[in-house]
Amino acid sequence: MNILIVGGNGFIGRYLAESLLAFGQNVSIIDIADKPKNLKLNSKAAYYKIDAISRECSEVFEIGQFDIVYFLIGNSERKNWLESGKDISPLLNILDLCCEYKVKKFIYISTSYLYTYEAMSHEMLYKTHPRFFLHCAFKKSCETYCNMYKDVYGLNMLIVRVPPVYGPGLNSFGEGSIILDIIDAFQHHTYREVWSIFKDIELIYISDVTRILTTTALASNFTGNYKIKGELLDISYIMRKAKGIFTKNNIKVNYKFESKMKYPLDKNVINRLEDNTSFSEGFAKTYEWYKNRNLKKRLFADKLYGVSGKIKFVWKKYKAWIEATIFSFLVTEFMKYTGFNYDIGIVLVMIIGLTYGINAALYTGILCLLLHYLPFSDSILPELMNLNTLERVLAYFSIALISGYKKSVEIKENKIKKVTHIELEELFKTVQADLVNTRKSASLLTEQLKTYEYSYSTIYNAVKKLNENRNRIMQVLPEVIIELTGFKEVKLETRNDLSKYEPGLEYDLVKNSFEKNEVFFNTQMKSSIRVIVPVFNKKSNKVDSLIVIRNVPFEKMNVNVESQMHFIYNLVTDFYNI
């Protein structure tokens, strides 16, 4: 039989072509992509690099006189989803040609996700995961057109809804790409996250699905709408299988929908063959392919990117010292050969100080002095004791201190801010996720602080390792809270600031907060003060300062914010009393 595969250069198309050739069929392929060099069927299958919407397709149909046509175009790798409707044009063109040249059977490969799409609210699907919604809507539209051609023009039609497919050759855009994402995440040496649409997934191995598509196409009694039955698996089960191979790293799975997929009744379901591939076996084969595919890349990349990675690391860590060394050498040589005095050196020290701080500026000054006297001679000591030399040393030293002080303070504050921001953000996410999932009250969450012992201890230890003055960290903390919460007015106030308040409600609130070691959370009173977090000193048994948050809209004063502020209080109290 003469068989055409439209979109035959894709993941399923290549396997399907090989399967049909194994059954002794004449196979032709239409695809817009270049003919792959490693395609096993190069010498056996006719390959046409044309667009499925072009007029050249008519010539292919005329030459091929096809009995069966597979249509595999239109998977989930389209980048511009707003233009997904344009992808129906190739399908309509091929359907018209099938009717014109009297093709015996047209097979459209659809997706089993349509059962979930049909059962769930379209508005909710679109708002939560528009990519998934538009992919399913496109597939549904294609099925509608196929059924119309069957009813109106009498085209012999077979629509097969296929579950997500995985196996060697899997790309990162297909429906089964969650397998590749998990392998890729575990393969890396850092913590990674993987997104899954639902908490479960129905999977089928690539060789199993191609055998079924081959046998159903060649069987004349298979027409209408069918679904291939895959292996129904929880994502947690897939993760356990992956951890059996990758023991070092951990990854986290996030879900677009906190629910499971919808599945049809047993009507018109094609069961897998008896000798099908189990998920354990299929996952192992996919991983072996992944490992071999990346082996050659890694052999070259390890040499190229390994060196460049080390260079980047060294540059990032020692950028200030490298630049200071290079410019010190250039400036010193320039002064030697032009006869300029050390004014240019002073300018260089000042620039380095303003950019990288005191340490780099002092290093630049010392290096300029040493390079000026190179090569050393027997008369070096008298030269060093010269008044001009001492004047130069004092000039370099004073300029380094003056220009670099502000930058050094800024670098330290940024370091504190970065650490506290990263760790607090993770803690805030944990609190928010638990609020959403368990609907606990803020007070109950506060009592159950041990629930977050890991996140809590992580930030505590990370901040503690900075070995910085605790007052400096307290001063940076309001800025971090502003970045994380979006609140615009967060200030650290001491007892001296109490004199700035006029008698009234706000004065009483602040005064009471200095007397009570409690978090104040305002949801009703007409005051600009919304939250007050005390910084309690256990040695003096007094509140030393307050983190005051103002002018937050009342609608934002929710349980999540209350929980976050309670955890800020616990963190600040423990850290402040180290």
* Residue where the block lists tokens 């595999």: 72
Both structure tokens of 72: 């595999």
Give yes or no for residue 86 having a pLDDT over 70.
no
Helix axes of 358-373 and 279-338: crossing angle, nearest 10 degrees: 50
Distance CA 326, CA 313 (A): 18
Instruction: For residue 307, name the pLDDT band (cuts at 50, 70, 90).
Output: low
Higher pLDDT, 484 or 150: 150
Q: Highest mean pLDDT range out of 191-200, 263-272, 324-333? A: 324-333
Give yes or no for residue 68 having a pLDDT over 90.
yes
Which DSSP symbol is given to 203? E
- Comparing 113-117, 205-209, 484-488, 547-551, the range with the smallest average pLDDT is 484-488
Residues of the chain within CATH 3.40.50.720 domain(s) are 2-167+202-230+268-276
Instruction: For residue 438, name the pLDDT band (cuts at 50, 70, 90).
Output: very low
Give yes or no for residue 78 having a pLDDT over 60.
no
Q: Which residues, 6 or more positions from 481, have their beta carbon under 8 angstroms from its beta carbon?
A: 424, 487, 490, 547, 549, 568
In our burial notation (b when 16+ CB lie closer than 10 A, e otherwise), range 169-188 reads ebeeebbbbbbbbbbbbbee
Which H or E run contains 535? strand 529-537
pTM attached to this predicted model: 0.52
In our burial notation (b when 16+ CB lie closer than 10 A, e otherwise), range 498-521 reads eeeeeeeebeebbeebbeebebbb
* Residue where the block lists tokens 């499925």: 52
Distance CA 30, CA 492 (A): 68
Instruction: For residue 105, name the pLDDT band (cuts at 50, 70, 90).
Output: very high
Give yes or no for residue 435 having a pLDDT over 60.
no
Average pLDDT on 209-229 reads 82
pLDDT at 146: 92
Omega within 30 of 0 (cis) for the link into 375: yes
Higher pLDDT, 224 or 575: 224
Distance CA 444, CA 60 (A): 70
Instruction: For residue 28, name the pLDDT band (cuts at 50, 70, 90).
Output: very high
Measure CA 243 to chain center.
Answer: 20
Give yes or no for residue 309 having a pLDDT over 70.
no
**Cβ-contact 197, 129 below 8 angstroms:** yes
Instruction: For residue 224, name the pLDDT band (cuts at 50, 70, 90).
Output: confident
Higher pLDDT, 413 or 26: 26
Instruction: For 405-418, write each residue's pLDDT tens digit.
Output: 888 777 776 766 66
Closest CA to 421 of 484, 485, 491, 489: 484
Got the DSSP string for 366-384? Answer: HHHHHHHHPSP-TTHHHHH
Instruction: Give the dihedral sign, CA 103/105/111/115.
Output: positive
Instruction: For residue 71, name the pLDDT band (cuts at 50, 70, 90).
Output: very high
Q: What is the mean pLDDT of the chain?
A: 75
Average pLDDT on 244-258 reads 62
SS3 category, 557:
coil
Q: Highest mean pLDDT range out of 31-40, 87-96, 215-224, 293-302? A: 87-96
In the β-sheet with 489-494, what is the strand arrangement from edge to edge? 489-494, 542-550, 529-537, 520-521
Instruction: For 230-250, write each residue's pLDDT tens digit.
Output: 888 888 788 777 777 765 555
pLDDT at 351: 85
Closest CA to 118 of 306, 261, 214: 261
Closest CA to 558 of 417, 473, 436: 436
Higher pLDDT, 204 or 122: 204
Higher pLDDT, 129 or 111: 111
Measuring CA to CA, how many Å separate 336 from each of 332, 346, 368, 379, 494?
6, 15, 11, 18, 56
Give yes or no for residue 437 having a pLDDT over 70.
no
- Number of other CB atoms surrounding residue 241 within 10 Å: 17
Q: Highest mean pLDDT range out of 29-38, 182-191, 258-267? A: 29-38
pLDDT at 395: 78
Instruction: For 360-375, write each residue's pLDDT tens digit.
Output: 888 888 888 777 766 6
2-167+202-230+268-276 belongs to CATH 3.10.20.30? no
Query: In 197-260, which ranges are E strands?
Result: 200-205, 224-228, 231-234, 251-255
Instruction: For residue 94, name the pLDDT band (cuts at 50, 70, 90).
Output: very high
Higher pLDDT, 189 or 388: 388
Q: How many CA atoms lie within 13 A of 380 on its CB side?
A: 10
Measuring CA to CA, how many Å separate 91 from each of 51, 134, 148, 491?
11, 17, 13, 62
**Cβ-contact 102, 220 below 8 angstroms:** no
| 51 dihedral zone (left: phi>0; alpha: psi -120 to 50; beta) | beta
Instruction: For residue 201, name the pLDDT band (cuts at 50, 70, 90).
Output: confident
Measure CA 140 to chain center.
Answer: 30
pLDDT at 6: 92
